[in-house]
Copies of this chain bind each other. A is one copy, B any other.
């Protein structure tokens, strides 16, 4: 089953700038993560943007939705900042992309920092997207939720049913 991964940035892909001490975006780590996971899925990877999801506006969300609509694959994983993952889920659901299974995932710690949950979440999202029925989902913490049945608990950093 062909799978499209749309990269949008988020903590997942942040780097540490050793000159300024700030976090920034360079290139996505997803190809390296797929190699490390010895992934043998039929994956097409596309960097849509590299952005902190707190900086993602309506225009940006439209771009993500358009790429999810236009791509040929019916199984789509979107890497995304955790703070506004649910809003992007809503935008995708409102676009009514019939027949497509879309799974949003992210990370609490950048992959580049060693102690990241990113590899676990990527393995999880790529698995869910292969067998969940069409719809828009969030996969975090080993769990999956429909986009309108989840919220990020900002006090704990955990995604929970609502």
Contacts and interface: CB of A to CB of B under 8 A. Distances in A.
Interface residues of A, number: 49
Interface stretch (A56-64, A86-94, A105-113): A105-113
A126 interface: yes
Q: Which of A41, A110, A119, A126 has the most CB of B within 10 A?
A: A119
Contact of A121 (B16, B37, B110, B142): B37
Given A19-B154, A109-B18, A127 B142 contact: yes
A127 B123 contact: yes
Interface string A15-36: 0101101010000000001101
Interface of A: 11, 16, 18-19, 21, 23, 33-34, 36-41, 108-110, 112-117, 119-128, 130-132, 139-144, 154-160
* A-B pairs with lowest CB-CB distance, top 7: A114-B114, A37-B120, A123-B123, A127-B127, A120-B123, A123-B124, A40-B141
